[in-house]
Amino acid sequence: MMKDNAEQRAFTSWKLDMLDAMSVDPEVTDADFRVAFRMMQHVNSVSRIAWPSVDRLAVQLARSRDSIMASTKRLCAALTKDGRPRLPWMRKSRPHKRAANQYGFMGDRANMVLDAMHQRMEDFENDKFEVANLQPQNPFEVANHPGFEVANPPYVEVANLQHKHLNGTTLEEHLHSKGSEDCEASAYARAKRRTA
């Protein structure tokens, strides 16, 4: 029982490591990653081989058979688009003509991709450290800088300014004058009088 648990943990760890490496490979498209993820769900824990049908993967991912086949072809490709050799993510085999395709994941590419990702992270940290060293040694002290007085702005008297549309009267006089029939308050008062 204890051995089975250790083997299951090792298998689960291997699956997660493979998927983690695939997720940071710049050559793996989102669509290809989804196919590989589904393929990984079908891998046998002992043989580490998967043999799901193209139709099964197409139904699970709601994609066409052609797109599933194109993704598996890219994941199994030993050459890049420009013809350079590369380590594939998976190997495809078929024991005999009537057998289903079998897929096995390749750990060599995972190691290469994870090494490249760690190198990118190291370069990123070094660049960040260099930028930090370029910053001035005595940063500008914002807290001690005399600020602008915003809390007590100079008061501007606007109430004594006469608005042009009031024609020399106050707003209250304007709203209650005879000539304000066009105003909204008067229209409301007229409508109210009609319904009463």
- Extents of the domains making up the chain: 2-113, 164-195
Q: pLDDT at position 83, please? A: 83
Residues 6+ apart with CB under 8 A from 181: 187, 190
Q: How many CA atoms lie within 13 A of 134 on its CB side?
A: 6
Q: pLDDT at position 174, please? A: 54
CATH class of 2-113: mainly alpha
Nearest 5°: the CA angle 14, 20, 23 is: 145
Q: pLDDT at position 35, please? A: 96
Q: Is 61 in contact with 77 (CB distance < 8 Å)?
A: no
Q: pLDDT at position 97, please? A: 82
Q: pLDDT at position 51, please? A: 92
Structure tokens at 132: 């930090």
| 66-100: pLDDT as tens digits | 999 999 999 999 887 788 888 899 999 888 888 88
Residue ranges for the chain with pLDDT beneath 50: 180-181, 183
